[in-house]
Structure 1
Amino acid sequence: MQELKGRRALVSGGSSGIGQAIAGHLINAGAETAIADLQPAAHASENVYAFQCDITSGAAVDALFTQVSERMGLPDILVCNAGRGIHEKLTEGDPEKWQQIIDTNLLGALRMVRAFVPGMLEAGQGDVVFVSSVAAGQAYPYGGVYAASKSALEVIAETLRLEVLPKVRVTVVAPGVTDTAFFKNTISGFHTAEDIGYGAIPPEEVAGAVLYALCRPPEVSVNHITVRPTLQPF
């Protein structure tokens, strides 16, 4: 099926985990796809481009904009997926690490929006997808900074939706526990999907939710999808 044939997509954090699954679904659906990551993976498929980019750097995002524009053209699908986790007690944690989380999960997405969404508005159409988390708005011990970053991201998403309608659609996809290296790559703290105890969904399920939203008719906007293990209570 080629539901997205003729469209151009950019996925941040697209070389592993959920981002890699989303990029794969976009490619299979026919979209010309660019992947931006700290260590971009090579792809053998046609119409797939890999770019190195640290979204915490404004200069790096500016360079990404130039590179993507020159090689692929401006995207009409932007997936803000890059993010990191942290598991620290607020009275004992490291504020420098907290800043890294905010720079990646929140400001990084804002930099991508500021760089790429104006082109969508000028073209008169586009889609922006934010990969959030069920942690958004859900306080839990040791998760305050991560949850706050995702909660703020969802406020940004809703604000963007109001600012860009009806030309650009905005979707938030909020996964629960997902079977990726997310927990292994947290800045501090340690958890696994197994010790959380709810099971884990494969990243392809999250990617399927993204594709579902993108493939709705232009007059239909899917603004928020939560996808998680059936056993997960929040």
Structure 2
Amino acid sequence: MSKVVLITGGSSGIGKSIGEFLHYKGFVVYGTSRNPSRISDSLFPLVQLDVRDNVSIEKAVAEIVQKSGTIDVLINNAGVGITGPVEEIPSEEIKNNFETNFFGPIEMMKAVLPHMRQQKTGLIINITSIAGYMGLPYRGIYSASKGALELVTEAMRMEVKDFGVKITNVAPGDFATNIAAGRYHAPVIKDSAYTVPYGNTLKMMDEHVDSGSNPNQMAEAIYSIIQNPNPKIHYKVGVFLQKFSIVLKRILPDKVYEKMLLNHYKL
């Protein structure tokens, strides 16, 4: 029988690319969207779900299990970007980012684990970010939320190993998607202490996304992981320099690495 895959945030960007790729490979794919009625071009069913709402999560998971009898693979893809000087980002926006990028995936895992434990098999793939391996200027909150998910995944892998359930992280670099459009941007405040450096860094970040890799690379990577009976703890998908930046952080003295980031962002 074809495996049943649930992808949060499957209506656009990386999630949509993954869903379409797996659909063509013969998987039974369900995506999610906060407003699925607005999406008319999806190749696979979209279920209403907001990862910030536990009732929404429980209802969506129950609906998919009722229709397909199981959930074999959960791909925690739903996430939002956030930029700005930490000092100037409203606290409610920081909390909202963690609700989506960190607490939401945890609640999704809580919802599917009883089904996976019962069937003694399952795979959970958490989409994190290469940014989660380092504190990036003006992306500190995003880095923190994705880095936190990386660490929780490491812990949960050990907790569920006896149930036949595998959990892994996939950290993408910059991909050409619409994430910048949905990202919360702290405004560039005139006469702020951060006006010039934040404004310049924000422009650079948007250019990186616009010139990013094809999201089909992520889809191919996810497919390969699903086919692997013993997936690794961490995967990185992106251009060489982005992946190599993680290696450099591991081997360089902290201040040397910080200087490298400051030079990169021209700060």
The TM-score with structure 2 as length reference comes to 0.79
The residue that corresponds to 1:82 in the other structure is: 78
Residue 240 of structure 2 corresponds to residue 230 of structure 1 = yes
Partner of 2:134: 138
2:26 to 19, 24, 30: 30
Matched, 1:124 2:120: yes
Deviations 1:26-61 (A, max 9, x none): 21221111111113334675xx32111111011111
1:204 maps to which of 199, 212, 216: 216
Identity %: 28
Write the distance in 2 (CA, Å) between the matches of 1:125 and 1:38: 28
Structure 2 residue 24 is the aligned partner of structure 1 residue 14: no
Aligned partner (choices 184, 187, 192) of residue 184 of structure 2:
187
Match of 1:106 among 97, 102, 105: 102
> Could you tell me whether the CA contact under 8 Å between 2:177 and 2:209 is conserved in 1?
no
Alignment match of 1:178 (pick from 168, 175, 178): 175
CA distance in 2, matches of 1:194, 1:89: 16
Contact 1:193 1:199 in 2 (8 A): no
Count of residue pairs brought into register by the alignment: 226
Corresponding residue of 1:213: 225
CA–CA separation in structure 2 for the residues paired with 1:74 and 1:49: 15
Contact persistence 1:42–1:50 (CA under 8 A)? no
Shift of 1:197: 8.6
CA deviations 1:199-219 (Å, max 9, x no partner) are 411111011111111111x3x
Closer/same/farther in 2, CA of residues 197 and 133 from structure 1, 3 Å limit: closer
Structure with the greater alpha carbon radius of gyration: 2
The match for 1:151 is 147
Give the gaps of 5 or more residues in structure 1: none
Tell me, in whole angstroms, the C-alpha distance in 2 between the residues paired with 1:114 and 1:194.
34
Of the candidates 150, 157, 161, which is equivalent to residue 161 of structure 1? 157
Distance change in 2, residues 1:80/1:54 (3 Å): same
Answer yes or no: is the 8 Å Cα contact 1:17–1:203 preserved in 2: yes
Equivalent residues of 2:86, 2:138 under 8 A apart: yes
AA at the equivalent of 1:86: I
CA distance in 1, matches of 2:204, 2:10: 22
Runs of 5+ unmatched residues, structure 2 = 187-201, 246-267
Equivalent residue number for residue 190 of structure 2: none
CA distance in 2, matches of 1:194, 1:122: 44
Match of 2:68 in 1: 72
